[in-house]
Amino acid sequence: MITLLTLIAIILGIIAIANLIKVYELSAALKEQEEVYTPVSDSESNFNARLMLPVLVALMVFCFYWYFAYKSDMLPEAASSHGAEIDTLFNFNMIVITIVFVVINVLLFYFAHKYHRNKNRKAVYYAHNNKLEMIWTIVPASFLAVVIIYGLAVWNNITKPTDRKKAVVMEIFAEQFKWTARYAGTDNVLGKSNYKLTADMNPLAIDATDKNAWDDKIVNGEFHIPVNKTVQMDFRAKDVIHSAYLPHFRVQMNCVPGMKTEFHFTPTITTAEMRKKTNNPDFDYLLLCNKICGTTHWNMQMKVIVDTEEDYNKWLAEQKTFKEKSMANLNTEVSNLAAN
């Protein structure tokens, strides 16, 4: 196999060298020919210059029309306490970007219009100007510093540690191509896990010897969270990198095999309230995967229900614990073995 690949590489190398020689010969022949230069006529130059301003207007109209036409589809309504901060930061950045876009394009098209080719005008040789260098270095740097510092301040504020004892502690487990949610039990502590424990009967690789895991509750298909209460989410992945994306809650966090990531937020609008707001009785919050993780990435989603605290507690009480599910799976396995 290696010999064949080496032979192919040698053949391709010879072909490449032969083509390079041909290119060199053609370029040498072209250099010997008399250079022909046909300058742009004044009428053509004036016509192009006159087109610059209407093209500028058309560009601005086109861009702003589509911006306002699809503005409502850019981000859904924020349904978390930090969502307003994220949206303010996003809008601030959009304003800065829009101003820069308009100023640069206006200058670009205006200069192309005003300083078009004219045989009676010569360009001025302007080698260097320290004042101009300082201006176009300091001004953009100042804008970037404001954007970066503001962004870091918002990020640090929404990601600062929270009191896990007062939060709903849960884990989101990602695998191709589904999500699984695990809630901490009455002790509000998630049981330990170890990827080496992964098995058909233990896909989340939970350490069954850890007593903190026995009362954990595992759910599939959909999970519930209470409104106006901090939700502490830990993230893990089984196979490849996934990205947990909850657009209405302005949450996105990578799920990386072999390590734990986390994010916390406070939902502020229940599912029932959002259905009324959107006038859509079928509305549901969704947990999506925002990393292309394989062939069925597009369909990797899980329904999220935001309940009142009373409804949430009632729903959670109905879910089976890890210990109960493990015993049920074990009994099923024993029954299958006995039947065989």
Indicate which CATH number applies to the domain containing 322: 2.60.40.420
| pLDDT digits 0-9 by tens, 228-257 | 999 999 999 999 999 999 999 999 999 999
Same-domain pairing of 112 and 249 = no
Q: Are residues 211 and 253 in the same domain?
A: yes
Torsion region of 205: left, alpha or beta (phi above 0 gives left; psi -120 to 50 gives alpha): left
Give the whole-number percent of the chain exceeding pLDDT 90: 47
pLDDT tens digits, one per residue of 52-91: 999 999 999 999 998 888 887 788 889 999 999 999 999 9
CB under 8 Å to 83, separation ≥6 — which residues?
A: 248, 249, 250, 268
Do the Cβ atoms of 156 and 82 come closer than 8 Å? no
Same domain, 297 and 182: yes
Rounded Cα distance between 72 and 75, Å, is 7
pLDDT at 331 over 70: no
Q: Please provide the average confidence, as pLDDT, over all residues in the chain.
A: 86
Asked if residue 244 and residue 112 are part of one domain, the reply reads no
Q: Which structural domain range is residue 272 located in?
A: 166-334
Between the CA of residue 145 and those of 9, 139, 140, 142, what are the distances in Å? 50, 10, 9, 5
CB neighbours of residue 45 within 10 Å: 15
φ, ψ at 226 (rounded to 5°)? -85, 150
109 in the same domain as 210: no
List the structure tokens of 272.
């029932």
CB burial string 84-97: b at 16+ within 10 A, e below: ebbeebeeeeeeee
Residue 150 Cα distances to 34, 96, 122, 145, 161, angstroms = 60, 13, 46, 8, 19
Q: Are residues 99 and 183 in the same domain?
A: no
Q: Beta strand 222-226 with 251-255: parallel, antiparallel or unpaired?
A: unpaired
In a domain, 21, yes or no: no
Look up residue 247 and give its two tokens.
């657009």
User: Quick count: other Cβ atoms within 10 Å of Cβ 191?
Assistant: 23
Task: Identify whether residues 87 and 231 lie together within a single domain.
Answer: no
**Residue 174 and residue 289 share a domain:** yes
**202 and 179 in a common domain:** yes
Residue 94 lies in a domain: yes
339 pLDDT above the threshold of 60:
no
- For the chain, what's the residue count? 340
Q: Which of 119-123, 124-128, 255-259 has the lowest mean pLDDT?
A: 119-123
CA distance 78 to 274: 10
- Please indicate, yes or no, whether residues 173 and 318 belong to a single structural domain of this protein: yes
Cβ proximity of 201 and 333 under 8 Å: yes
pLDDT per residue over 83-100, tens digit each?
999 999 999 999 999 999
